[in-house]
Each structure stands twice: as C-alpha cells, then as structure tokens.
Amino acid sequence: MAAFDHFAFACQNLEEGVAHVESLTGVRAAPGGPHPGVGTHNALLSLGSDVYLEIIAADPSQADPSGARPFGIDDHPDPRLAAFAIHPGDGESIDAVAEKIRNHGTDPGPIVAMSRLKPDGEEISWRLTRSNRLGLVPFVIDWGHTANPATITPKGCSLIEVRGTHPQPDQITSLHQQLGLSVKVSEGPSSVEIILETPNGTVSLSS
C-alpha cells in the first residue's frame, strides 16, 4: 500500500515560511534547493523515517515560469498547508498508484521527471504526478534510487495525524482507503490539516 511521503507548506517567501514553521515547532527546516523551470525553491524537515514537511515558495532567483507555480503559491499571500504526496509501497509502481486514483474518478496528472541540486551540489531526481490539485487528493512521488529526504533533514518533529474536510467525505475516504491511507475526513470545504508532536508540544498546520 502507498504511504504518506511529504506535506507541502506553501508560501510566497521561503525565509518567512521557514521562520513561521520554526516558531510553531521549535525546529528549523534545512535548505533543499531550487526547482529549475518551476520557479520555486524549498526547505525541508523530517516528520518521521519516511515522511517530511516541505516548505516551498517562489524563488526570486529564477525567471517567472511559463505556467503557474505549484500549490497556488501565486494566488495566496499567507503561508498554509496546501497538499500532500504519497509514495508507492513495496512492490508498487508510481504508475499503479496513479491508476488507482484515476480509477476512482480523479485525474492525478501526467507522470513527469524532475531534479534539483542540493546545497552540497549533489543532484537528486524523482518522478511525480503533476497536477495543481490541492487538499485531500494526494499526488504521487517515486524517489527511485534517491534517499527519501526524511532521512537527511532536521529531526525533532513527528506526524501524529492527518485530517481534513471535503464536500464529499465518503468519496474521499473511499479513495484514501483504496490507497491505504489513514485520514480523518469530515464534511466541509476542501481542507487538509496535520497534527505534529514537536519540541514545542502538539502543533497543527492547516490550509
């Protein structure tokens, strides 16, 4: 079964986003690197052995991308939890997980290859389903031979629970069950929230 991979905390200014998360959790995210051609860069912190938080923002050192930046960064001035990714389980492929989402009536988007340079100059690469969907419908990422960033980013926080609201909670819960995800969903406008145990106590990040 698939599992949570990372949660995207979107903001317009990376330093401000990192400071905001640090003020809540007591842990400072480490620089990740730029996403060439996408117009973003990120910072990361671990939430467990194979799950992490990505703080992602517009990158002022890049030219404006041809399309919109991901996770609604261009449209929302305030930092917020925007979306989450899952990774395939043992023996699964990204194609198979994307097909499960597609068969449930949601287009996960095309599978594309991406890469970036870490601050130490190492290039890392991955494949993911590319869509601008936000909230409780996940996108899928496959790290291939690259180590999951959760293993090499600042520790101290752990993921306790994922929950949110959706106009059709039964439908989204059915999707999560097919994917093997545990999410508490209630009826309401589309939103996502994670509960973390941190050095500052229990913390919530939400959309």
pLDDT band per the 50, 70, 90 thresholds, residue 2: very high
Does the predicted model carry a pTM greater than 0.85? yes
pLDDT bin (cut points 50, 70, 90) of residue 99 is very high
Q: What is the mean pLDDT of residues 93-105?
A: 94
Fold classification of 3-156 (topology level): 2,3-Dihydroxybiphenyl 1,2-Dioxygenase; domain 1 (3.10.180)
Residue 77 clears pLDDT 90, i.e. is over it: no
pLDDT at 133 (0 to 100) = 74
Domain residue limits, the chain: 3-156
- CA–CA separation, 178 and 195 (whole Å): 23
Mean pLDDT rounded to a whole number for the chain: 94
On the question of pLDDT at 40 being above 80, the answer is yes
What mean pLDDT do residues 99-121 have? 90
Using N-to-C axis directions, what is the helix angle for 94-103 and 169-179, rounded to 10°? 150
pLDDT band at 67 (very low <50, low <70, confident <90, very high): confident
Mean pLDDT score, 130-154 = 91
Rounded distance, CA 132 to CA 79, Å?
17
Distance between CA atoms of 69 and 52, rounded to whole angstroms? Answer: 21
Average pLDDT over every residue of 118-133 = 88
> pLDDT-derived band of residue 165, with 50, 70 and 90 as boundaries?
very high
